[in-house]
């Protein structure tokens, strides 16, 4: 994704710089390693995007800053975009079956058993919760263009998926 691409009023460069600063203590190599682990563990033709307070710097519901309760207290909202990832979620793991899942998180650790090892690895890398959600590309498109929600592309490209 070009550095100048805009999602929700923020450029990819602005979002990436903020994530590297807030999540990786300014270490771009750790960010690159994180993205590499995600890419190596996802199905082909799948994208991964980061959403939420790591992107904006504050929580949407109360405007509190990222990690307001101390280091490592804010989670990462990782959305995996593509049809094949949805096969990893149990039927009870969906908001809309076959289209959009609930987040694999500490609250719902059993909804995508095959993704738990990846989630655990990512959490060890960043020292904070990583919530993983699966969705179709058109849902992510709507979040961007209809609702104006910013997201940072970590792996792949939206729209390249069945």
Dmax (CA) of the chain: 40
- Averaged pLDDT of the chain: 92
d(CA 119, CA 126): 11
Q: What integer is the mean pLDDT of 120-137?
A: 97
CB neighbours (10 Å) of residue 26?
A: 11
What are 135's strand-pairing partners?
81, 100
Nearest to 118 by CA among 51, 40, 49, 53: 40
Interatomic CA distance for residues 55 and 152, integer angstroms: 7
Strand partners, 6: 11
Is residue 133 pLDDT above 60, yes or no?
yes
CA distance to 45, 46, 59, 81, per residue, from 161 (Å): 5, 6, 30, 8
Its pTM stands at 0.92
pLDDT of 54 above 60 = yes
What pLDDT digit, counting tens, does each position of 96-119 carry?
A: 999 999 999 999 999 999 999 999
Domain extents for the chain? 6-155
pLDDT confidence bin for 160, thresholds 50/70/90: low
C-alpha span between 92 and 82 (Å, rounded): 19
**pLDDT tens digits, 35-47:** 999 999 999 889 9
Residue % of the chain over a pLDDT of 90 = 79
Is the pLDDT reported for residue 68 higher than 90?
A: yes
Q: Give the sheet arrangement for strand 152-155, strand by strand.
A: 94-96, 100-101, 130-135, 76-81, 47-51, 152-155
The CB density around residue 100, as the number of other CB atoms within 10 Å, is 18
């Amino acid at each position: 994704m070009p550095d100048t691409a805009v999602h929700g009023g923020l450029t990819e460069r602005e979002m990436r710089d903020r994530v590297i600063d807030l999540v990786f203590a300014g270490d771009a190599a750790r960010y690159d390693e994180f993205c590499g682990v995600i890419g190596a563990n996802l199905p082909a033709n799948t994208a991964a995007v980061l959403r939420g307070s790591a992107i904006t710097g504050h929580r949407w519901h109360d405007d509190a800053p990222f990690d307001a309760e101390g280091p490592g207290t804010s989670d990462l909202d990782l959305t995996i975009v593509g049809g094949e990832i949805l096969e990893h979620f149990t039927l009870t793991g969906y908001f809309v079956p076959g289209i959009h899942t609930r987040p694999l998180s500490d609250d719902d650790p059993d909804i995508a058993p095959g993704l738990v090892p990846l989630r655990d690895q990512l959490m060890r890398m960043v020292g904070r919760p990583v919530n993983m959600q699966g969705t179709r590309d058109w849902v992510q498109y709507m979040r961007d263009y209809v609702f104006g929600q910013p997201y940072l592309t970590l792996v792949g490209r939206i729209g390249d998926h069945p």
